[in-house]
Amino acid sequence: MATGSFNPFQMAQQQFDQVAEKLGLDQATRDLLRNSNREIHFNIPVRMDDGSYKVFRGFRCQHNDARGPAKGGIRFHPHETIDTVRALAMWMTWKTAVVDIPLGGGKGGVVCDPHNLSMREQEQICRGWVRAVAPLVGPLQDVPAPDVMTTGQHMIWMLDEYEKITGIKAPGFITGKPLGAGGSLGRKEATGFGVIYTVREALKEMNIDITKTTAAFQGFGNVSQHALKLYTELGGTAICVSCWNHHEQKSFTYKKASGIKFDELISITDRFGEIDVNKARELGYEILPGEAWIEQEVDILVPAAIENQINAETAPKMAKSVKIIAEGANGPTTPEADEIIKSRNIWVIPDFLANAGGVTCSYFEQVQCNMNYFWSKEEVLEKLDRKMTEAYHAVSNLARSRNVYMRDAAYMIAISRVAEACKLRGWV
């Protein structure tokens, strides 16, 4: 969230400006791509279970749709801000471009805390959100998906409301839907698996055997869970997970030096990705402060929680053993931290490449819905692996051949593709 002095949109613009300079983009193209094409702010009035009314604030940003319909999740968070949504919409534009799928970037949000809302109240927020944006979204305009604290259930409520308003069946309007209601096999695993597909390729380039590596994960929501699962299945040793504890209102790091067993950890984790501290202690986990994940003697760091986690303050605490940072979260690393990482020669797999598995599989879901023919899970994950591997090597090859930082290489590919589409359309 945009808290204190940290503003994710300013960071996204700063990252863009640096690469626009390297690419020599003209001023009009810079002005077009620095800001959202359009955004909508709105109120969602809801009759609460106790009979009172409460008004929730909602947002939708469509950053750029030159390459195809806008695509991006909807976040429910008590500290949601328009600047967070703007930044994430911009990152989605680069994300869809770097993996070369025909979509643009969008993002949505509601200022609310699902922890404190009944399912009926959450349903009313979902339906109210769709009513507010219905004229600007749809399978051929803007396709939402789940994000922080939203699920397949929220998506199906939104789809139902959209179909009521339009009077048509439009399963391609929204992705991340439950199976049996237009959802795709493999979607749940997609983002986390995508992160590890890129890690696997990076380790191959470094001639490092994955079975001899260790990793620390931040966050234990959907992305981190599936990343940790695949990483350990491939033979890696995950030694710790850091995640937020709602009851204590702070985060903890759960460490097991001998290696975390995925099934064991998931059995003491709730639907919000929060691990039960007492049960973890009983199972022999060492309970450390929340920020301790970044200080561990590991080969790989996987920040898969929220923005601004590897910054000027925390980056110097990284152990000398760290070789790879794979950004499962959006915007986890600040430009100040990037300078420290560059100086230490750590190989970064940037967020909008590393975590693009989610939007890639959402695209697959959209394609399957629109043609009303669904693929097997193996087929989905095989297509995902191929897409992520191709995208990783395109960025890695550019970074090595031009001797540029991986984040800059990913930006150079993505921004060039979007700028070209804008020029071809005659926008600039």
Is residue 330 within 8 A of residue 9, CB to CB? The reply is no
- Radius of gyration for the alpha carbons in the chain, expressed in angstroms and rounded: 21
Is residue 22 within 8 A of residue 41, CB to CB? The reply is no
Q: What pLDDT shows up at residue 4?
A: 54
Beta strands in 294-335 (DSSP E): 300-303, 324-326
Amino acid type, 418: V
Q: What pLDDT shows up at residue 188?
A: 87
Please give the Cα distance from 21 to 47 (Å, whole number). 50
* pLDDT tens across the length of the chain (428 residues): 444 567 889 989 998 999 999 999 999 999 999 999 999 999 999 999 999 999 999 999 999 999 999 999 999 999 999 999 999 999 999 999 999 999 999 999 999 999 999 999 999 999 999 999 999 999 999 999 988 889 999 999 999 999 999 999 999 999 999 998 999 999 889 999 999 999 999 999 999 999 999 999 999 888 999 999 999 999 999 999 998 877 777 888 899 889 988 988 888 888 777 888 888 888 888 888 888 898 999 999 999 988 788 888 899 899 899 999 999 998 899 889 999 999 999 999 999 899 999 999 999 999 999 899 999 999 999 999 999 999 999 999 999 999 999 999 999 999 999 999 999 999 99
4 φ/ψ angles, rounded to the nearest 5 degrees: 55, -135
Sign of the Cα torsion 286, 289, 290, 292 reads negative
Which residues are known catalytic residues? 107
77 φ/ψ angles, rounded to the nearest 5 degrees: -150, 140
Is the fold of 38-185 the same as that of 188-349?
Answer: yes
Please give the Cα distance from 308 to 329 (Å, whole number). 10
Q: What is the CATH number of domain 38-185?
A: 3.40.50.10860
CATH homologous superfamily, domain 188-349: NAD(P)-binding Rossmann-like Domain (3.40.50.720)
As given in the structure block, the two tokens for residue 190 are: 């997609």
Around 18, how many Cα atoms within 13 Å sit in the side-chain half-sphere? 14
Please give the Cα distance from 61 to 42 (Å, whole number). 12
**Residue of 411, 331, 352, 407 lying closest to 20 (CA atoms):** 411
144 φ/ψ angles, rounded to the nearest 5 degrees: -75, 180
Q: What pLDDT shows up at residue 289?
A: 85
The packing angle between helices 27-34 and 406-425, to 10°, is: 110
Give the start-to-end residue ranges of the domains of the chain: 38-185, 188-349
Q: What pLDDT shows up at residue 387?
A: 96
Helix/strand/coil for 414: helix
